[in-house]
Homo-oligomer: A and B are copies of this chain.
Amino acid sequence: MQLDMSSPTTTERVFNFSAGPAVLPEMVLEQIRDELLCLPGVGSSVMEISHRSQAFVEILDDARRRIIDLHQIPDDHEVLFVQGGATLQNTMIPANLLVDQNQTADCIITGTWGKKNSQDIQYYGSLNIAWDGAETNYTQVPTNSELNLTEGAAYCHYTSNETIHGVQFPEPPEVGEAPLVVDQSSDFLSEPLDIKRFGMIYACAQKNCGIAGVTTLIIRRELLERAGDRLPRYLDYAQHVKGASMLNTPPTFAIYVTGLVCNWIQNTVGGLEEMHRLNQEKANLLYNLIDNSGGFFLGHAQPSSRSLMNVVFRLESQELDSKFVTEAAALGMTGLKGHRSVGGIRASIYNAMPLSGVQALHDFMRDFAQRNG
């Protein structure tokens, strides 16, 4: 296709490689559109109904149960929906999990998001950086033996996938006794996970499971007790559990979209094993082409730490990077410009990016290399 995206009336959909907010499954968008003015049997838009109405209580519970089913979440973990994104979690995690200023949080930093998470810990206790890949501009994750862990740490935090650097842990790190806390904002529901290994998992929705404005938390119940009564209401996880994710009016529409996306993963894709297989197939298409390009495309991450979600690479010059992005956009492939801190190209291929989109990008890359190599 050759789109004229400069026309304000163009209504043809592109392949959207945005790092987030990101592409949604088209069938989810169609369902939202079809029932936008009137949720069947309710008489109002899902955006207009009380969060206390039976219809919405069922929508929230349905979304929660789908996440529990997809990840086979054990009974000793709670599933919550809150607002404020990972950034508010950067505050809430140390506020809730550090009992006093003498406790230490271990942080494994493999990119920009892990670094941001570490910056608010000072307000609630001590920070120990267990590993930081800054020296090599975040091209890999550490091995377990490289981690400098604190004995008796209150928790250990890491970011499973770093969107800017395209670096992902192939397996969760082994951190001993400390509860493992993971920011899964960019790879939540992209593959199966053994939830028992985690004290807490959190993920904003706008990459793999919905739209911006809702964050899913999965938290081991025993951790809820640490905050005691020292926190104001919104910051206290136990209050959100007590309110069943309705401590205050939840972001109702965003939760509804999350439920629809989970339904799509379950019933159209076929579950997390199949989701993972598809994500591997998509990523391999691009990484194999990069590896076989004779150095025309240069991947950012080390092969053992490559992200299945964000394929980050560059060409031999910034001029060629720009030409690549411009030509791709003209062919209906948007959002490919890399983050300014890394440069080059970033193709974000989250759950909802169809194989056909990745194939189109692959073919364009091959053609571009032939014409410019």
What residues make up the interface of A, taking CB atoms closer than 8 Å to B?
3, 5-14, 16, 18-24, 26, 29-30, 32-33, 35-38, 40-45, 47-51, 53, 83-88, 90-91, 95, 119-120, 123, 204, 206, 211-214, 230-235, 247-254, 257, 332, 334-335
- A-B pairs with the 6 shortest C-beta distances? A213-B251, A14-B43, A87-B248, A8-B41, A83-B83, A120-B232
Known: A16-B49, A48-B21, A249-B206. A10 touches B234 (CB 8 A): no
**Minimum distance in angstroms from A242 CB to a CB of chain B:** 13
**Minimum distance in angstroms from A7 CB to a CB of chain B:** 6
Q: CB-CB < 8 A to A88: which residues of B?
A: 83-84, 234, 248
**Minimum distance in angstroms from A56 CB to a CB of chain B:** 8
Instruction: Give the interface SS of chain A, mostly helix, strand, loop or mixed.
Output: loop
Cβ B43 vs Cβ A332 within 8 A: yes
Cβ A253 vs Cβ B211 within 8 A: yes
Q: CB-CB < 8 A to A19: which residues of B?
A: 50
Q: CB-CB < 8 A to A231: which residues of B?
A: 123
**Minimum distance in angstroms from A175 CB to a CB of chain B:** 24
In the complex, the count of this chain's copies comes to 2
Looking at A6, A9, A12, A48, the one whose CB has the most chain B CB atoms below 10 A away is A48
Q: CB-CB < 8 A to A204: which residues of B?
A: 249
Instruction: Please tell me which one of the listed residues B23, B85, B247, B253 contacts residue A249 in the complex, with CB atoms under 8 A apart.
Output: B85
Question: CA–CA, A211 to B83, complex, Å?
Answer: 14
**Minimum distance in angstroms from A77 CB to a CB of chain B:** 23
| Closest B residue to A89 using CB positions | B234
Q: CB-CB < 8 A to A257: which residues of B?
A: 47
Instruction: Please tell me which one of the listed residues B10, B87, B90, B249 contacts residue A20 in the complex, with CB atoms under 8 A apart.
Output: B249
**Minimum distance in angstroms from A250 CB to a CB of chain B:** 7
| Closest B residue to A39 using CB positions | B11
Cβ A48 vs Cβ B83 within 8 A: no
Known: A16-B44, A21-B47, A120-B232. A251 touches B249 (CB 8 A): no
**Minimum distance in angstroms from A106 CB to a CB of chain B:** 19
